[in-house]
């Protein structure tokens, strides 16, 4: 049964959320102390970290293997924050929208305007670039499955189609697609069995889909969320889903924690 187990404090809008080891990282839209770190047991604030030379944050993810957090910056770069607090960065050469880490511990950067997924090593070496099919307009986030295929969400209010797609490992072919009409899928999380959590920005909902993109159930709605949910993070080990939830009129943001 899905239920809310905690809500992190309200503050500036949340641009990303991720978990690493025994901590939850929350990315706030502000000039300093952008990263807030909470423990995963009592959700108490442990520390804050400032990421220098920022432009505008768009997403956040983490890597257990390298014990670091990655932050996508609209200034066409990725910031790498290790658990000791050291921050480095590398160029993407396009504006990143969403980021994720694959089974090879590499960073996948989804670049909306050029319809590409760029794969980087943990220290920013370019490994490959995939151009998505022509009808995948404005991709926001991509996650690679264990067999190398990609789950991608794309589309905006001005686009004819908003979808979640399963795309071949070479990025060239759509294997299966889910038409989301006007609900605007914006971010994804995938569990060990490749069930897919999708956050819908306009519909103010999180839904769960099977590995073949068949609808399973609603996970969260406007009853639990206050505004426009925008980012997801799934802690597979603890079965916790973290949802970044913003109320833009009041410039408030928070993270709602669900037991899934």
Residue 149, domain CATH? 2.120.10.30
Q: How many CB atoms lie within 10 A of CB 137?
A: 18
Higher pLDDT: 75 or 181? It is 75
Q: What is the pLDDT of residues 160-175, one digit of tens each?
A: 889 999 999 999 999 9
Of the pLDDT bands very low, low, confident and very high (cuts 50, 70, 90), residue 83 is: confident
Q: Supply the range of the domain harboring residue 91.
A: 15-233
Both tokens assigned to 187: 């971010």
196 lies in some domain: yes
109 lies in some domain: yes
Question: Given the structure tokens 């037991």, which residue do they identify?
Answer: 259
Of the pLDDT bands very low, low, confident and very high (cuts 50, 70, 90), residue 227 is: confident
Task: Examine the pLDDT at 1 and tell me if it is beyond 70.
Answer: no
Q: What is the pLDDT of residues 8-63, one digit of tens each?
A: 999 999 999 999 999 999 999 998 999 999 999 999 999 999 999 888 899 999 99
Question: What size, in residues, is the chain?
Answer: 260
Q: How many CB atoms lie within 10 A of CB 194?
A: 17
Instruction: Using only the alpha carbons of the chain, give its radius of gyration.
Output: 17
Q: What SS3 state is found at 155?
A: coil
Q: What is the pLDDT of residues 134-193, one digit of tens each?
A: 999 999 999 999 999 999 999 998 888 899 999 999 999 999 999 988 788 999 999 999
Q: How many CB atoms lie within 10 A of CB 218?
A: 12
Read off the pLDDT of each residue in 66-71 and give the average, rounded to a whole number: 97
30 lies in some domain: yes
Let me know: does 234 contact 243? Beta carbons within 8 Å: no
What does the alpha-carbon distance between residue 161 and residue 174 come to, in Å, rounded to a whole number?
A: 14
What does the alpha-carbon distance between residue 251 and residue 94 come to, in Å, rounded to a whole number?
A: 27
10 lies in some domain: no
132 lies in some domain: yes
Structural domain count, the chain: 1
pTM: predicted TM-score of the whole model, two decimal places: 0.95
What does the alpha-carbon distance between residue 136 and residue 150 come to, in Å, rounded to a whole number?
A: 13
Handedness of CA 219, 225, 228, 229 (dihedral sign): negative
Q: What SS3 state is found at 89?
A: strand
156 lies in some domain: yes
User: Rounded to whole angstroms, what are the CA distances from 91 to 104, 119, 260?
Assistant: 21, 12, 36
User: Rounded to whole angstroms, what are the CA distances from 200 to 34, 154, 186, 218?
Assistant: 25, 11, 6, 11
220 lies in some domain: yes
255 lies in some domain: no
pLDDT computed for residue 107 by the predictor: 98
Residues forming a β-bridge with 4: 258
């Amino acid at each position: 049964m899905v239920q809310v187990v905690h809500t992190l404090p309200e503050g500036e809008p949340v641009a990303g959320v991720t978990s690493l080891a025994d901590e939850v990282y929350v990315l706030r839209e502000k000039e300093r102390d952008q990263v807030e770190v909470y423990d995963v047991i009592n959700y108490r604030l442990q520390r804050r970290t400032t990421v220098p030379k920022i432009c505008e944050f768009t997403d956040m993810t983490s890597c257990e293997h390298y014990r670091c957090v990655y932050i996508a910056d609209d200034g066409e770069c990725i910031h790498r924050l290790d658990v000791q607090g050291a921050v480095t960065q590398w160029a993407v050469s396009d504006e990143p929208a969403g980021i994720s880490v694959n089974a090879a511990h590499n960073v996948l950067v989804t670049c909306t305007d050029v319809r590409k997924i760029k794969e980087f090593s943990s220290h920013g070496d370019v490994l490959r670039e995939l151009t998505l099919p022509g009808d995948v307009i404005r991709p926001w986030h991509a996650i690679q499955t264990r067999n190398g295929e990609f789950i991608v969400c794309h589309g905006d209010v001005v686009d004819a189609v908003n979808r979640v797609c399963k795309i071949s490992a070479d990025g060239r072919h759509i294997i299966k697609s889910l038409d989301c009409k006007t609900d605007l899928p914006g971010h994804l999380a995938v569990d060990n069995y490749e069930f897919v959590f999708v956050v819908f920005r306009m519909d103010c909902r999180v839904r769960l889909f099977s590995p073949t993109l068949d609808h399973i159930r609603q996970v969260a709605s406007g009853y639990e969320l206050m505004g426009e949910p925008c980012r997801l993070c799934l802690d597979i080990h603890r079965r916790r889903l973290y949802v970044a939830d913003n109320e833009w009129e009041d410039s408030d943001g928070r993270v709602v924690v669900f037991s899934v």
